Amino acid sequence: MSEFQINKFVHTIVQRENLSVAYRKKIICIFKTAINTMVKENKLPPVPYVSVKMQDKKLETIPFFSLEEQKSIEKSIFQLNDFRALGILLCFYTGIRLGELCALRWENIDFESGVMLITATAMRINKQGKDAVRTALITSPPKTKNAIRAIPVPAFMLGKLQENQPDKAAQGCYIFSGTSYPIEPRTMQRIFHRILKSAEVPPRKYHAIRHTFATRALELGVDIKTLSELLGHSSVTITLNIYAHSMLEQKKIAIEKMNSLYLSHSTTSFCAVDSAVS
């Protein structure tokens, strides 16, 4: 591999803006380590790499539903009269991912303690067949250990689920398919978009529900560490980076409260002076 080819590969990775900056840096780091090892073991001349610099993306507003939109969506969920739609409601109030929802079994919910255990995720993967590439729906452990987590479930949500809980013989079934196979993520996405249309809410990706949960949590004053653990992020830093915009809005609200406090003190002071003078 020539110096030109090496640096061309590095530049190709740098320009892949669909990948995060951190992931691109990781690819380049692994690639350089491999090249350096090859150079060292084969006693080749060192390869001069072109210096590259990747800029972090500008802070963007994450897509989420307003409180009014969420109310309309919840109303449409109950009007749909489809038990699977309760899965969407569960995502709104626990922040779990679509794949995690699809992989939920009845045995993952402890109704006595009110806790839901996330241990798997469902996804569709490419599977090489004899004639053509085919896909298969599988369940697997989450990508990180932090994603395996226990999440308290709101009492009203537990009640809704318990109303539809099967007998003990079916406890091993997946909740939203009612069978020994997980529900197809695309099926949940179709139900979700049907609900948005019924609620007259502009279309958004399913993941916007997760962002909405995080946004509501921050609005309610949930601390960032607790939120990070509920979301199953590998670190608090990831949560801070994703929801920096929401955090900024909360900071503005906090400072506005300080402003109101000052004004209330000032008004009281002026009134007292006026009263004393008169």
* Span 224-268, pLDDT tens digits: 999 999 999 988 988 888 887 777 777 888 888 888 888 887 765
What size, in residues, is the chain? 278
pLDDT digits (tens, 9 = 90+) for 142-187: 888 999 999 999 999 999 999 988 876 566 899 999 999 999 999 9
Range with the poorest average pLDDT among 73-82, 120-129, 204-213 = 120-129
Q: Which residues pair with 116 in a beta bridge?
A: 109, 151
The H or E element that residue 139 is part of is strand 133-140
Q: Output the six-digit token pair for 125.
A: 């993967």
pLDDT for 277 equals: 45
* Contact predicate 28/10, CB 8 Å: yes
Does 166 lie in the same domain as 113? yes
Cα end-to-end span (Å), the chain? 91
How many angstroms separate the CA atoms of 87 and 77, rounded?
A: 10
pLDDT for 244 equals: 78
pLDDT for 65 equals: 95
Domain annotation covers residue 140: yes
Average per-residue pLDDT in the chain? 84
Q: Output the six-digit token pair for 156.
A: 């009203």
Nearest-5° Cα angle at 236, 146 to 125: 45
Q: Is the pLDDT of residue 272 over 80?
A: no
Q: At what angle do helices 3-14 and 21-41 cross, to 10 degrees?
A: 160
Does 200 lie in the same domain as 74? yes
* Of 261 and 56, more confident: 261
Does 52 lie in the same domain as 73? no
Q: Output the six-digit token pair for 241.
A: 């980076």
How many angstroms separate the CA atoms of 198 and 206, rounded?
A: 16
Task: Tell me the CA distances in angstroms from 139 to 91, 121, 213, one per residue in order.
Answer: 18, 5, 24
Residues 6+ apart with CB under 8 A from 244: 59
Percent of the chain at pLDDT exceeding 70 = 83
Does 169 lie in the same domain as 109? yes
* Contact predicate 28/52, CB 8 Å: yes
Residues 6+ apart with CB under 8 A from 189: 98, 206
Q: How many domains does the chain have?
A: 2
Boundary-marking domain end, from 175, 207, 239: 207
pLDDT for 129 equals: 60
Does 129 lie in the same domain as 4? no
Amino acid at 25: K
Does 82 lie in the same domain as 37? no
Question: Model pTM?
Answer: 0.72
Burial degree of 80 (CB within 10 A; 0-12, 13-18, 19+): middle
pLDDT for 4 equals: 67
* Of 84 and 52, more confident: 84
Provide the Cα torsion 103, 86, 206, 151; round to 10°: -60
pLDDT band at 13 (very low <50, low <70, confident <90, very high): confident
Q: Is 8 left (phi over 0), alpha (psi -120 to 50) or beta?
A: alpha
* Contact predicate 88/195, CB 8 Å: yes
How many angstroms separate the CA atoms of 212 and 65, rounded?
A: 6
Domain annotation covers residue 231: no
pLDDT digits (tens, 9 = 90+) for 111-132: 999 999 999 999 988 776 665 5
How many angstroms separate the CA atoms of 153 and 172, rounded?
A: 20
**What is the residue range of 136's domain?**
69-207
Domain annotation covers residue 101: yes
pLDDT for 271 equals: 46
Q: CA nearest 96: which of 39, 174, 149, 48? A: 149
Does 114 lie in the same domain as 38? no
Does 158 lie in the same domain as 52? no
pLDDT for 22 equals: 72
How many angstroms separate the CA atoms of 249 and 245, rounded?
A: 6
